[in-house]
Amino acid sequence: MLTKIIAHRGSKGIRPENTLPAFEKAIEEGADGIETDVHMSKDGHLIIMHDETVDRTTNGQGRIMDQTLMQLKTLDAGSYFGYAYLGTQIPTLNEVIQLLIAKKFKGIFNLELKTDKIQYPGIEEKVLAYMNQQELPFKVIYSSFHPQSLVKMYSLNPDIEYASLFKVQTKFARRLYRKRLIRDWHPDIRWVRAHRFFLPHVQLRPWTVNSDDDMRYCFKRRFDGIITDYPGRAVIIRKSIQGG
């Protein structure tokens, strides 16, 4: 089995993150998976963005939860990356899913619920209700830094794959794995490097694996996957180590 290459917020290294151009580029580059993040707007729409606020990646300000979809759609989420992306909008979850379906994407879709800082009321139910309405040609994995979201998601649908995200603290990841609520760990690559002699026997998909050295490290150890800003480069390096 080849180590899966999962595009972090799309091809974040060469496109404005968490936008349709970033996801489209990741597919073109041969990524095995797409990783992205979901929040909820003031009027209950599922919004794709990494931060809780729009400040860093748009020309606007303020928290996502304090703005309606109409307000969020007026913002420019691409020009910070370059003039070529002027006018790129913040996408909704539906827009991303429909893009992947239209592109006949058949890999992994890793959706992170961004509930570690803001617990959006009912976001778990809303995400599952939407996804259950779709005929999806790809595999879905849900992840979160917030263990309560994973517990809630599992209680709503125990037949889906869940993953625990963490930087250094493994207590909740270990507990959820023992209870069989999750199958995978998505740790910081720095944690993986620091614990290289004591890595657990679980499916590992480290983030954010961007340097050639870290990519080679993961491919040589044949981790289940890596989450990277540069899927195109990762595809080339993987082929040199794992073939395929």
**50 belongs to the catalytic site:** yes
Given the residues 8, 39, 146, 186, select the one marked as catalytic.
8
Residue type, 225: G
Using omega within 30 degrees of 0 as the cis cutoff, is the peptide bond preceding 36 cis?
Answer: no
Q: Which member of 39, 45, 50, 186 is catalytic?
A: 50
Residues facing residue 204 across a β-bridge: 185
Q: Is 8 a catalytic residue?
A: yes
CA dihedral 208, 214, 216, 217 (to 10 degrees): -110
Q: How many whole angstroms separate alpha carbon 100 and alpha carbon 106?
A: 8
What are the structure tokens assigned to 166, written together? Answer: 């963490």
Q: Are strands 46-48 and 33-40 parallel, antiparallel or unpaired?
A: antiparallel
Catalytic residues: 8, 50
